[in-house]
Structure 1
Amino acid sequence: MAAVIDVNATVKALIDAIQKQAKQGWTKISTLVTQQSKMMAQQAAWIAESSIAGTLKDDLRGWFADQLADSVRSLASDVAALTILTAEKVWNAAVKVLWGAINQALSVASKGLLTLPAL
């Protein structure tokens, strides 16, 4: 019996789809990290320089340091959310390719189609 699904073509389509989604996700994450890192590094430098120069009092230094910590927490949370979104997009892309290949073969054979699985 001949193969109903071209495995090599499906592998290529699967890799391409996953790679596309992963790259797009990484682009969004790296853009966010780059922008936020610059701002946080500048704030850290300002805290250090102002503290050393004596223009930033101890009580305010703690407040600004707490604000910087909040910024880091927020960035980590945003990176986690974008990572989860990227993983979901990778899942959707992979399922679309694999179930598409199966359903194309089933359609030719006049069999019922598989519904896409939920994540």
Structure 2
Amino acid sequence: MSIKLDEVADDIYSKVKDSLESDWNTLSTFHRSQGKKLARQAALLAQLKLSGELPQDDPIFETLNEQFEDAARNFTQAVSNLTILTLQNAWNTIVNTLWGAVNELLSGAGLGLLPIPKLGD
């Protein structure tokens, strides 16, 4: 019994591709939705300042500006976290496929299985 390298490579490719496409769709939907909201908030801040309705030293303007900064920071952190999860899913897909092929051979030979490594080990 042997590992069919081309089949394992093709399996990894298709599974990672499917995983990345799914995760990208999630990330893209979130990115577009939140990006539009941040753009509207930025436009409102600019309009308030340009029109003179709220001078820069007005406490209301400062509060709105701080809220905008927080929203931008939270958005960036969420995108970063989703990206990390996407990469972790790709790792899991690759490792599970490779170790699955190896462990199938070991099991067929009556040998013990190799433990599947965790990301960061």
Structure 2 length as normaliser, TM-score? 0.88
Please say which of residues 62-71 and 9-18 is displaced more in the overlay. 62-71
Q: 1:52 is matched with which residue?
A: 50
Amino acid at match of 1:23: E
Q: 1:35 is matched with which residue?
A: 33
Preserved contact between residue 47 and residue 56 of structure 1 (Cα < 8 Å): no
Preserved contact between residue 36 and residue 75 of structure 1 (Cα < 8 Å): yes
Secondary structure, counterpart of 2:80 in structure 1: helix
Structure 2 stretches lacking a partner, 5+ long: none
Give 1:99 shift. Answer: 0.6
For residues 35 and 117 of structure 2, what CA distance do their matches in structure 1 show?
38
Secondary structure, counterpart of 1:110 in structure 2: coil
Give 1:61 shift. Answer: 2.3
For residues 65 and 104 of structure 1, what CA distance do their matches in structure 2 show?
58
Give 1:25 shift. Answer: 1.8
Give 1:85 shift. Answer: 1.2
Give 1:57 shift. Answer: 3.2
For residues 12 and 56 of structure 1, what CA distance do their matches in structure 2 show?
60
Q: Does 1:21 align with 2:55?
A: no
Give 1:77 shift. Answer: 0.5
Amino acid at match of 2:32: T
Q: Percent identity?
A: 33
Q: Does 1:70 align with 2:70?
A: yes
User: What is the aligned-residue RMSD (CA, Å)?
Assistant: 1.4
Give 1:62 shift. Answer: 2.6
For residues 67 and 114 of structure 1, what CA distance do their matches in structure 2 show?
50
Please say which of residues 46-55 and 98-107 is displaced more in the overlay. 46-55
Preserved contact between residue 50 and residue 56 of structure 1 (Cα < 8 Å): yes
| CA distances 1:35-66 after superposition (whole Å, capped 9, x unpaired) | 11111111111111122222223222232122
